[in-house]
C-alpha cells in the first residue's frame, strides 16, 4: 500500500523525531545545593577582604626586624618585646629601644593601620586598626615563625605558623593556621608555597588542604607572571561530606595584555557540570549547554575567583617570613 504524500511526509518527520530522541546525551550532574556551597566558599573571600587582613597584607613587605635571623633564635634579645609603629617622616616602621610596653616576650609587635592597598602603605595620617605579633615558635630542630594578628570590627584574627627557605627572589615555605572572626566565620589552611624566577618570569605555586565553613578543600594553583602574559593553572576540589558530593574546578586561564582566554571545567562527583571557555569573551555553559540557575551561576563565579584568592593569601602569609627569616 502506498501512503498519501502528506501521510508519508508526516511518517518521515515522526521517524526523524524518534531518531533524535534515541540519541543519548552524555551523563551530567548538578550540585545539590549550589547556593549553600557558594555562600560557604564566599566566607574565604569575606575574611581575606577584612580591614585586618588587608592591613596585614600591607604590613608583610614592611615587617623587617633589625638583627633577625633565619635560624633560631630568630630575634636578638635587644628586639624582644619591641613594638613597631609607623613613622610618617621616614615612611617605614620603627621602634625605639624604650618602646616595649605590650610587646610579646618571644618576639615583636607591629601596629596595624588602615591600609592603602594600591600603594602598599598605611594611610596617612594613620588610624590604628589592630596589631600583629611575630613570635619565635622554633622547635629544637626547626626554625618556625608564628604570626598572630587581630583587630577590626567584627574582631578578626589571623593565626598561623610558617617555616621554610626564604631568599630575596624565591622561597619554599610551609604554613599552617586559620583566619576567623567574632561571627564564627573561619577558614583554615595547611599549605606550601614555592616562588622562583625563570627566564625573567616569576612562578608561584600554592598547594595544600583547607576547610571553609564545613567544606573541605584540596588545591594546587600555579601562576606564571611574565612581562606580556599571565598564565594560571588550577586544580581545586571541594568536598561536601554532609551531601556526599565532590565538586572539582580545573583548567587554565591566561591573560595576554588585556585579553583573557580560558579552558576551565567544573565537575560534580566526576560528571560534567559547567565550563568556562573562550578568548576575549569568556562564556559559562551548563551541562549539555543547558542554562544554569542563578544559584549555579553564582557558584561557578565563586569557583572562578577562589584560586586567585588562595594564591594571593599564600603570598600574603609568606611575606613576613621573607622579611624576617630571609633577611
Q: Are 207 and 219 in contact (CB under 8 A)?
A: yes
The string of pLDDT tens digits covering residues 154-201 is 999 999 999 998 877 788 999 999 999 999 999 999 999 999 999 889
Q: Are 132 and 148 in contact (CB under 8 A)?
A: yes
Q: How far, in Å, CA of 191 to CA of 261, rounded? A: 28
Cα 71 to Cα 11, 28, 109, 135, 318: the distances in Å are 84, 53, 19, 13, 16
Q: Tell me the whole-structure pTM to 2 decimals.
A: 0.88
Whether a cis peptide bond, with omega within 30° of 0, leads into 125 is yes
In whole numbers, what is the pLDDT of the chain averaged over residues? Answer: 91
* Mean per-residue pLDDT, 304-313: 95
Cα 203 to Cα 28, 169, 223: the distances in Å are 35, 10, 6
Instruction: Give the confidence band of 23 by pLDDT, cuts at 50, 70, 90.
Output: low
Q: How far, in Å, CA of 60 to CA of 83, rounded? A: 16
Torsion of CA 266, 269, 271, 274, to 10 degrees: -20
Q: How far, in Å, CA of 287 to CA of 274, rounded? A: 6
Q: Is 51 left (phi over 0), alpha (psi -120 to 50) or beta?
A: alpha
pLDDT over 70 (residue 84) = yes
pLDDT over 60 (residue 18) = no
Amino acid at each position: 500500500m502506498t501512503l498519501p504524500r502528506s501521510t508519508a511526509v508526516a511518517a518521515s518527520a515522526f521517524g526523524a523525531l524518534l531518531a533524535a530522541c534515541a540519541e543519548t546525551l552524555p551523563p551530567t550532574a548538578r550540585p545539590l545545593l549550589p547556593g549553600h556551597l557558594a555562600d560557604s566558599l564566599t566566607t574565604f573571600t569575606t575574611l581575606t577582604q577584612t580591614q585586618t587582613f588587608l592591613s596585614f597584607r600591607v604590613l608583610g613587605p614592611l615587617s623587617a626586624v633589625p638583627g633577625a635571623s633565619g635560624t633560631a633564635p630568630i630575634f636578638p634579645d635587644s628586639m624582644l618585646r619591641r613594638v613597631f609603629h609607623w613613622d610618617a617622616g621616614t615612611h617605614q616602621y620603627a621602634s625605639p629601644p624604650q618602646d616595649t610596653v605590650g610587646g610579646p616576650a618571644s618576639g615583636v609587635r607591629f601596629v596595624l593601620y588602615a591600609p592603602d592597598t594600591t600603594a602598599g602603605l598605611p594611610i596617612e595620617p594613620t588610624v590604628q586598626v589592630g596589631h600583629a605579633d611575630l613570635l619565635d615558635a622554633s622547635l629544637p630542630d626547626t626554625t618556625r615563625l608564628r604570626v598572630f594578628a587581630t583587630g577590626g570590627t567584627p574582631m578578626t584574627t589571623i593565626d598561623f605558623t610558617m617555616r621554610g627557605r626564604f631568599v630575596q627572589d624565591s622561597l619554599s615555605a610551609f604554613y599552617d593556621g586559620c583566619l576567623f572572626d567574632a561571627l564564627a566565620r573561619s577558614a583554615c589552611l595547611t599549605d606550601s608555597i614555592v616562588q622562583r624566577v625563570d627566564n625573567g618570569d616569576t612562578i608561584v605555586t600554592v598547594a595544600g588542604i583547607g576547610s571553609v565553613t564545613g567544606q573541605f578543600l584540596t588545591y594546587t594553583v600555579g601562576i606564571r607572571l611574565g612581562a606580556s602574559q599571565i598564565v594560571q593553572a588550577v586544580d581545586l576540589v571541594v568536598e561536601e561530606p554532609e551531601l556526599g558530593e565532590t565538586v572539582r574546578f580545573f583548567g587554565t586561564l591566561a591573560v595576554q595584555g588585556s585579553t583573557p582566554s580560558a579552558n576551565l571545567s567544573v565537575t560534580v562527583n566526576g560528571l560534567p557540570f559547567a565550563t568556562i571557555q573562550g578568548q576575549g569573551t569568556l562564556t559559562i555553559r551548563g551541562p549539555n549547554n543547558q542554562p544554569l540557575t542563578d544559584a549555579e551561576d553564582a557558584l561557578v563565579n565563586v569557583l572562578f575567583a577562589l584560586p586567585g584568592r588562595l594564591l594571593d593569601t599564600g603570598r600574603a602569609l609568606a611575606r613576613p617570613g621573607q622579611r624576617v627569616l630571609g633577611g
